[in-house]
Amino acid sequence: MSSSFSTPFNTSAFGTSGFNTSAPSRPLAAYGWDDAWAAEFTPYAEQGLVPGRVVRVDRGQCDVATADGTLRADTAYVTPHDPMRVICTGDWAVVEPGGDPRFVRAYLPRRTAFVRSTSSNRSEAQILAANVDHAIIAVSLAVELDLGRIERFLALAWESGAQPLVVLTKADLVPDPVGLSYLVRDVETAAPGVQVLPVSATTREGIDILAAVVAGGTSVLLGQSGAGKSTLANALLGAEVMVVQAIRDVDGKGRHTTTTRNLLVLPGGGVLIDTPGLRGVGLYDAESGVGQVFAEIEELATDCRFHDCAHQAEPGCAVLAAIEDGSLSERRLDSYRKLLRENQRIVAKTDARVRAELRREWRLRGAEGRANGVLKRGRGVS
């Protein structure tokens, strides 16, 4: 039942009575506005500029959800040649209060970002979504688990700076609870520091737990085609809410507009970003992400006798010893190697400057989140 999803949105996110000039921060809270964003925004507020979250970017323009509803704005100032700096869905935009056209003047520094390399040969990156807190990796229980694929998505998620969460969809197709618990455990071994949650859109098992997790921030849904992402999004959103949000969007002149949004406020709290680009996202320079996915192997490696041990046949190799005693599976080590190799190929084709920038911006934050995640799971970090 969707009773738990029908409450907060209707109340006050946007008054229908017109433009709100008194308390701009309250409606924005639904979009993830917090004290830290407000602090970043202070110098712009002094210039009379307005904050808002980017819900969609088109050629040359974007839709920005502000306290006064969704505004259309020109992105000429925030579309530099550097593809990493182009404004994208999820950014907090700094918008002119009026003007024809109205311009986005800047956007606030990103906390996290999903990036994709746009082609195999050109050294170009593309920003897919900004300021994402939770990366929900949808994995279908209707087909055989592919742990390697899950690890790949996890690497991507960690690299973005977001906290991953694996959702095993279509749990109704695995009615045996013992069988299900084994599947969950298998995935958990491939996902240290990550919550693994079986859900079913059919029976609504796990949906309320998922709704509670995503209530605290901005989420994206990743996963293979057919994994159940759309179904999950609908279960979280409720069909009525999508309609309501479309109707309540107003342009700068107070007219209703009907453009589709790539960023939606969830009725149970939180924000969901669903852009076409994110749907097909692949592995991009996720070196530190890979390390996090295989945290237990990297932890073991610190006990190898040689600092640069390749875990092939070296004496005193702690990784091989773990395989020997059965505490680490060969599949896991193979998968680790495969992802590292693949990653090196991608890295070789990628602009070093872009990579350096990614690292600089997200390493600290990522390391922090990872440490927390790993500790939460009680894995051996010393």
Which of 222, 319, 346, 358 forms a contact with Zn ion (CB under 5 A)?
A: 319
Q: What b/e string do you get for 134-151 counting C-beta neighbours within 10 Å, with b at 16 or more?
A: bbbbbbbbeeeeebebbb
Amino acid at 142: A
Closest to ligand GTP by CB, 135 or 138: 138
Task: Write the interaction track for Zn ion spanning residues 258-297; mark x where CB under 5 A is met and - where it is not.
Answer: ----------------------------------------
Contact flag: residue 201 with Zn ion (CB under 5 A): no
Q: Which does 201 bind (CB under 5 to 8 A by kind): Zn ion, ligand GTP, none?
A: ligand GTP
Alpha carbons 373 and 378: distance in angstroms, whole number: 9
Q: Which does 183 bind (CB under 5 to 8 A by kind): ligand GTP, Zn ion, none?
A: none
Q: How far is the CB of 213 from ligand GTP (least distance, A)?
A: 17
- Pick the piece of the chain touching Zn ion (CB under 5 A) from 79-87, 204-212, 280-288, 317-325: 317-325
Burial class (CB in 10 A: 0-12, 13-18, 19+), 50: buried
Q: How far is the CB of 131 from ligand GTP (least distance, A)?
A: 23
- Pick the piece of the chain touching Zn ion (CB under 5 A) from 81-89, 278-286, 307-315, 367-375: 307-315
Q: Note the residue count of the chain.
A: 382
**Residues contributing to the site for ligand GTP (CB under 6 A):** 138, 169-170, 172-173, 200-202, 223, 225-231, 279
Q: Which does 229 bind (CB under 5 to 8 A by kind): Zn ion, ligand GTP, none?
A: ligand GTP
Alpha carbons 29 and 11: distance in angstroms, whole number: 13
Q: How far is the CB of 371 from Zn ion (least distance, A)?
A: 23
The alpha carbon dihedral of 335, 337, 341, 344 has a sign of: positive
Contact flag: residue 317 with Zn ion (CB under 5 A): yes
Alpha carbons 289 and 155: distance in angstroms, whole number: 4
211 is in an annotated binding site: no
Closest to ligand GTP by CB, 87 or 197: 197
Closest to ligand GTP by CB, 106 or 183: 183
What is the C-alpha end-to-end distance of the chain, expressed in Å? 44
Helices (H), 22-76: 25-29, 35-45
Contact flag: residue 322 with Zn ion (CB under 5 A): no
Alpha carbons 164 and 195: distance in angstroms, whole number: 8
Sole residue written with tokens 């170009």: 124
Helices (H), 13-114: 25-29, 35-45
Closest to ligand GTP by CB, 89 or 350: 89
Count of residues touching Zn ion (by CB under 5 A):
5
Sole residue written with tokens 């996963």: 223
Q: Would you give the distance in Å from CA 277 to the centre of its chain?
A: 12
Q: Which residues belong to the annotated binding site for Zn(2+)?
A: 304, 309, 311, 317
Query: Which residues of this chain interact with Zn ion, rule CB under 5 A?
Result: 304, 309, 311, 317, 319
